[in-house]
Structure 1
Amino acid sequence: MTDYIGLTWDHPRGRRALEAASGDLGDGDTLRWEVQSLEGFESAPIDELAQRYDLLVLDHPHLGDALSTRSLRPLDELFDSTQISRWADGAVGPSISSYRMQGRLWALPLDAATQVSARRRDLVPNAPKTWDEAVDLAESGLVATSVAGPHAFLSLCSVVVSLGDDPGHAGAMFDRPIALRALDILTSLSQRAPEGTHGLNPIALLDRMRDRGDIGFVPLVYGYVNYSSDSVAFGAPPASDGRVGSTIGGTGIAITRRSEPSARLLDHLAWLLSEPVQRGFIPQHAGQPGLRAAWTDAEVDAAAHGFYSATLATIESSWVRPRLPGYIPFQSLASAAVRAVLAGARRPDDALDEIEERFALLQSTPIPLEQKEPA
């Protein structure tokens, strides 16, 4: 008999379905969930959390640190290859591939999300299709940018992807001319944003859009199906020459090294990722499923006011962040540098120089190859 403890993030999308499904797993095993803030989910040290919990709901950029500290169990040692192949074939976008490293799977893609646009239907009847159109709309004072915490850097990455760059995959973090152009776009948008919006995380930003009515459009913000309604619509971000850029987020459930998962716990996790549960139980409990079958289900989409059909193409083409040891603090530092540029407190070239220097240091720390546990 084992009492398992999991850690998820404190929002209905992150906790309600997991809590509703927890409790008695059978044969005396139980599972309960504790929660942390969105900011904790984005930045808390994964090795420390892994010492206290059996299950962790995490984002894929934590994998570099998790593998370097051997904090997680590889799931291919716990689930058979046929099951993993079914999940890989069924996951929406790069939701499951973002949790693969060193040829192994480290988390199950319970929840899928990426940066999309959000608008108030009454204030912005037609979403801007290009960055030029978004900048023009910003003159009205109705456009807010998601730049709190790590999101300034993530927004920059998404804009550069839309402009044709592939961040971090050619040695350097950015193509410099493209990054300068992207910073100029974000600066033009941010300088005209409604007062007090720069410090809001995505949840608070969407709360304000829904409740106060002074935000008409956010060009890049992580999609939350919970806010899709008759008044708030989600869709593709602005594009450049038809190319959309978006940085995938979402969450996966990982099993820590401290845990000795029983067959009942593994069956429970497989149940959460089963197609009927992803199409029924998860969306019925405020969740945002990770399987394409749920995203393409007409009833699920209709109940979500068209959220899934409007954002499916965006998540399918979304960009996956680097997964290197030390990436999370790098992301925080890079985001602070971007915010300084947006506020006019720093030259764009100087900020990009620092980001590139830090990224070069990041790449100099290799991840140790995973070794199988001795028999």
Structure 2
Amino acid sequence: MATTLTLLAPLAACGSGGDGIPTINVYYAPEQNFQQVVDQCAGQAQGRYQIAYRILPRGADDQRVQMVRRLAAGDTGMDVLGLDVTWTPEFASAEWILEWTGDRRTEVETGTLAGPLESARYQGKLYAAPKNTNTQLLWYRSDIVSEPPKTWDEMIKAAEALKAQGKTYQVITMGAQYEGLVVLYNTLVASAGGMIINEAGTEAVMDAGAVQALALLQRFASAGITNPSFTNTQEDDARLQFQSGQGAFQLNYPFVYAAMAEAAPDLLKNVKWARYPAVDPNVPSKVTIGGYNMAVSRYSPHPELAFEVAACLRNAEHQLFSAVHDGVPPTIERVYDDPQMDEAYPMKNEILEELRDPAVRPRTPAYQNVSTVLSAGLSPPQDIEPEKTANKLRREIQDALESKGVLP
């Protein structure tokens, strides 16, 4: 990491090009065709400024570490920051990013889906502009399963029945000790109507819904219906397992559709999708969203231009482009009405259903600490003892909220 910082710092140190034109440095995750979006926004500036796309590491933790270190040092070489949706409270509370106000705020809020928009707020103020979002669906083999299960209970029982019949039966999803396991648990908690921490982000709750989610996760993990490598599986591992024909069900993000279309078109003919399973048969699931938001660094030498660039990078035109070419679902609702979305996202109606009433991860400046505690406490899921694990997590999460004993 130190080497990466050393290499990037000289590039970012220059706030203007050799001809005196300001350079707006955009620090954002790797996205294959994002440079085209950057070039279009630069062209619209008509020479008033240049835009440099500084590609962050692929891993979210590495992205965060790089930005946190530089912002903590007051680095003036960073203008626009691509933030994971969980980082807004941390960056805002540290006063590393500027608030979106007035017309800028109105422009961002108009037409943006409520869930992604909430991820860009902290203490009632808007600190970022949602660029893309993400949500998981239930993918299933229609040649094996006639109707998709509507609840976790139905899905577990269906997989057990298929296994008993000697058919393909696995439920494939992410169970490794990392953020994906936290996302799985958070979705179960929200779908059960529970809470991990309070709304203010100051107190560990781990209520009855959180305990119910622990029991369900333990039941799922120990039912003999997961892939043998469940506790080591991350998103792309799950995709490959399902794509190779190992599963009857998969819980994963929409990127798996395009991947199957390219690598396993014969399998895709028998793959359908549905809303993520519910915990309560009478209450729709609430699925944890992901994605990235665009923020402006407090230390930017050109904050007005940085806001302009951030707004351009995430506008409706460019969200459509990124959705179609890079597989990142839009946060602006009307983009889903564009005909181009029909081919790229045949599952767009199910995505929108979930995005209109999603779950967000615990909102606290100490989220990194909370996530570390949760992923450790939930792993391996088959060893969970619901009440005992809940009590342990409640204590450890409270310590994490107070930054005790956890290295962020």
TM-score by structure 2 length? 0.76
Match of 2:89 in 1: 64
AA paired with 1:95?
P
Name the CA shift for 1:121/1:257 in 2 (closer, same or farther; >3 Å): farther
Aligned residues: 350
C-alpha displacement of 1:45: 6.7
- 224-233 or 25-34: bigger deviation: 224-233
Which residue, 89, 102, 107 being the options, matches 2:123? 102
Kindly indicate whether residue 334 of structure 2 is the aligned counterpart of residue 293 of structure 1. yes
Q: Counterparts of 1:260 and 1:32 in 2: how far apart (Å)?
A: 17
Structure 2 residue runs of 5 or longer lacking an equivalent are: 1-20, 164-168, 404-408
% identical aligned pairs: 20
Match of 1:369 in 2: none
Rg larger in 1 or in 2? 2
Kindly indicate whether residue 219 of structure 2 is the aligned counterpart of residue 188 of structure 1. yes
Q: Counterparts of 1:121 and 1:180 in 2: how far apart (Å)?
A: 33
Match of 1:133 in 2: 154
Q: Counterparts of 2:402 and 2:56 in 1: how far apart (Å)?
A: 34
AA paired with 1:164?
G
Q: Report if aligned partners of 1:154, 1:247 keep a CA contact under 8 Å in 2.
A: yes
Name the CA shift for 1:276/1:84 in 2 (closer, same or farther; >3 Å): same
Name the CA shift for 1:39/1:67 in 2 (closer, same or farther; >3 Å): closer
Match of 2:387 in 1: 349
C-alpha displacement of 1:205: 1.9
Q: Counterparts of 1:252 and 1:292 in 2: how far apart (Å)?
A: 16
Kindly indicate whether residue 305 of structure 2 is the aligned counterpart of residue 284 of structure 1. no
**CA distances 1:207-255 after superposition (whole Å, capped 9, x unpaired):** 4323x12133234x34437447572544311111232121122111112
Q: Report if aligned partners of 2:150, 2:281 keep a CA contact under 8 Å in 1.
A: no
Q: Report if aligned partners of 1:92, 1:316 keep a CA contact under 8 Å in 2.
A: yes
Mapping for residues 1-375 of structure 1, pairs under 5 Å: 1-10=21-30, 15-23=31-39, 24=42, 26-40=47-61, 44=65, 46-48=67-69, 50=71, 51=75, 53-76=78-101, 81-139=102-160, 140=163, 141-148=169-176, 149-169=178-198, 171-176=203-208, 178-191=209-222, 192-210=225-243, 212-219=244-251, 221-224=252-255, 226-227=258-259, 229=261, 231=268, 232-239=271-278, 240-243=280-283, 244-261=285-302, 264-279=305-320, 281-286=321-326, 287-295=328-336, 297=337, 299-340=339-380, 342-344=381-383, 347-364=385-402
Q: Counterparts of 1:120 and 1:5 in 2: how far apart (Å)?
A: 45
Name the CA shift for 1:115/1:93 in 2 (closer, same or farther; >3 Å): farther
Q: Report if aligned partners of 2:287, 2:359 keep a CA contact under 8 Å in 1.
A: yes
Q: What is the CA RMSD across the aligned residues, in angstroms?
A: 2.8
3-state SS of 1:186 partner: helix
AA paired with 2:22?
T
AA paired with 2:108?
W
Q: Counterparts of 1:143 and 1:323 in 2: how far apart (Å)?
A: 30
Q: Report if aligned partners of 1:301, 1:307 keep a CA contact under 8 Å in 2.
A: no
C-alpha displacement of 1:298: 5.4
TM superposition outliers: structure 1 runs of 4+ over 4 Å: 120-125, 225-230, 262-265, 362-365
